[in-house]
Structure 1
């Protein structure tokens, strides 16, 4: 069995799904943000400015910056309602329509009588967006917070900006808790780039599609045809019986994770095709694979559900 990211037709396109411009709190105008990502070899980005009152609830237009090799997907970072810690929700929404109605979010603080985060996320998904739980470690999400966002397609398992600025870029613990409860969620890695510091070009999502168009990329994201990375490439993956086979760029560690403490691991040097017997992880209803290179950079597959 090959997961959809590797079985689907097409090729992988490298993109950043979480980026800001000076339409909200970023340092650079939208055209310069797009130009820099294109110059770094990215195939696409989603410019996700903060959809909040102080910035006029922008869904930043980027169509004019598309070329025959670089495209953009409209999006925003949505805010409304209080987390358990009293702070405002941050929700990533890629593929929002330009007429998406603003929430009542006049500032970066919760106010009475506004939508909850889960209500706003559900409305974004219903409008056609791919929705992700943004930087759960940075936000201080509780397990109950994360559980409540039922509209999410994915968890931001790596946020480069949060990692660079405050060492809170991880979301894997949140992901694994939700997977263990039966939530079928994907994994995205992003920059959350603002360009005030070196918060760019550190985490990306590889999306499998036949065309590098906003429509094809968004459909592939919703279908789960992608994986997340900070460096390594994963070119193929299959699950046959009690063994996972992974094809990848040169790796020093390949790990299969599952429910609880269950893992199966292979260590080596410059490994590019690896067979990992499931062993103690064989009883898990879900599996996910991590590939680590000699520099410590990682790539993560979407979970594989064994049913």
Structure 2
């Protein structure tokens, strides 16, 4: 079986390639720029992703596509052009190339933004994106279902929680940098609960989604069954770095107010709010279980960051 991976030189894409090669699959990397010189993977350059991307040569002989490439933390118009129009262009080209299945890696952002409530996101939660990024992913999902209905190509949607592993970008990298400084970090005095998924566990799930008969035509959540607090996460990252993390409990209201005063309320919400994801249906329907614990994943993140800085 040949599986093509878009965004193959990214944080998640590299892990999917490694997992696929370990499983004996024929893997093809679809990238904007070249893979590392040490890579021996079948590689196709596809340039910028958008409504006019030429995919046909890159998809020749491919059985399934795992679509990871996308725009994040950028201009709003790029979300629509890359995440929505680019994804639907890929879907239409995949049909023309005879691709049997397309696995679209969407986002937990298709749901209402985690507002610190205790509600759990599960398969019955109605998507209602509140950000341009989440909206672009949701529109891509809907467009792919229309393509699947009209053509018979199998579509699978996977919505991961925040992904943890060495080299994790975004807020997790910022958090690791703060831990590395060795300064006391304020945390809410009331423990929060957040869902994550380890990099290796998500890579395994995406390859299962590309092959499992029960996956076709369904949407799945990807998250570990445990929901650690940010305080616990900080401690695990520190252990990975080989240094004890220092935390200072602060009343929730005081910390929230301070974050608003310095214009960091969104960062506060993403780090200290509650966001729990129930991926029980994914585990049951696809016989999937996270193979790497969150404790190990966060320690690995800390160790990787420490190596980068040495």
Higher RCO structure, 1 or 2 (CA under 8 Å, sep 6+):
2
Greater gyration radius: 2
Answer whether TM exceeds 0.5 for this pair: no
| Greater percentage in helix | 2
TM-score by length of 2: 0.31
| Greater percentage in strand | 1
TM-score by length of 1: 0.31
